Amino acid sequence: MNVVMHGAETFFFPGGKVGCLLTHGFTATPQEMRQLGTRLASQGYTVLGVRLFGHGTRLEDMARSRWRDWLASVEDGYHLLRGRCDQIVVIGFSTGGCLSLIMLSELPADGIVTLSTPYQLPPIPFLKQLSPILPALSIFLPAIRKGPPVWVDMEAAKSRVQYDAYPLRSVPEFSAMAKEMRTRLSKVTAPALLIHSLDDNFIPPSDMQHIYDSLGSTEKQMVHVKNSNHIITCDAAREDVFRETEAFVARIVKRNA
């Protein structure tokens, strides 16, 4: 039995009849969504932060997982909230944003927030060219170690709970997931808020524009923040992200009351 890393646990804050489903990103854990979840819970919402399959235990577990396994984790969380809430707002960070968009192409929700969400594979040199052979290559080179964190708030970076490497076998899964998302964006019609940092050096801010342009939602908004890298839920601009997200959820709740 695999033990969940300390700080990587799923979190649940019971509240009222409005549910917020929070999903973290690639190789990360619910820790990067917990502060946002705490803020939303303080407003009286019921908040669930899911842990994606294969994450927060051992790197080998993620390497064996597939993107549909990650999607199933999000769907499980959705159905748990649906059982106790009248309204649901889905909030996904990075890969969690992709998975949330895929899910909402099939399931109803009252709103969606995407944070630092990619439209395609990150523009890392040779990554797209190597992608087709990565499953075979991963037999000999299972993972690539991550470099030092590039954050504005380096103190916040110290509390991050994540894998310290990227499993190569998971990169084609990421690519397949993003491709699936792109085919489904026009089917997503829930009101949408998209937030991205202009200083994100991992997922280009232009990815947010591509997602926005492809969404089927008639009510949608883009917000740019500054002074943070990719992990905007934890880095220096987190308060801006929290305020924008809280305001969006409040508008949804008020309109549907």
Clarify whether 138 is annotated catalytic. no
Mean pLDDT, consecutive 10-residue stretches, the chain (257 aa), reads 88 97 98 98 98 96 96 98 96 98 98 98 68 66 83 95 93 93 98 98 96 98 97 98 98 89
pLDDT of residue 129: 63
Clarify whether 94 is annotated catalytic. yes
Catalytic residue among 94, 170, 175, 217: 94
Could you tell me the pTM of the whole model? 0.95
Catalytic residue among 24, 55, 196, 230: 230
Clarify whether 210 is annotated catalytic. no
The domain defined by 11-256 folds into Rossmann fold (3.40.50)
**Domain positions in the chain:** 11-256
Residue pair 22/30 in contact (Cβ under 8 Å)? The answer is yes
Residue pair 252/231 in contact (Cβ under 8 Å)? The answer is no
The three-state (H, E, C) secondary structure of the chain, written as one string: CCCCCCCCCCEEECCCCEEEEEECCCCCCCHHHHHHHHHHHCCCCEEEEECCCCCCCCHHHHHHCCHHHHHHHHHHHHHHHHCCCCEEEEEEECHHHHHHHHHHCCCCCCEEEEECCCCCCCCCCCHHHHHHHHHHHHHHCCEEECCCCCCCCHHHHCCCCCCCEEECCHHHHHHHHHHHHHHHHHHCCCCEEEEEECCCCCCCCHHHHHHHHHCCCCCEEEEEECCCCCCCCCCCCHHHHHHHHHHHHHHHHHHHC
Catalytic residue among 199, 200, 207, 235: 200
pLDDT of residue 122: 83
Identity at 119, one-letter amino acid code: Y
Residue 111: which of 93, 96, 90 has the closest Cα?
90
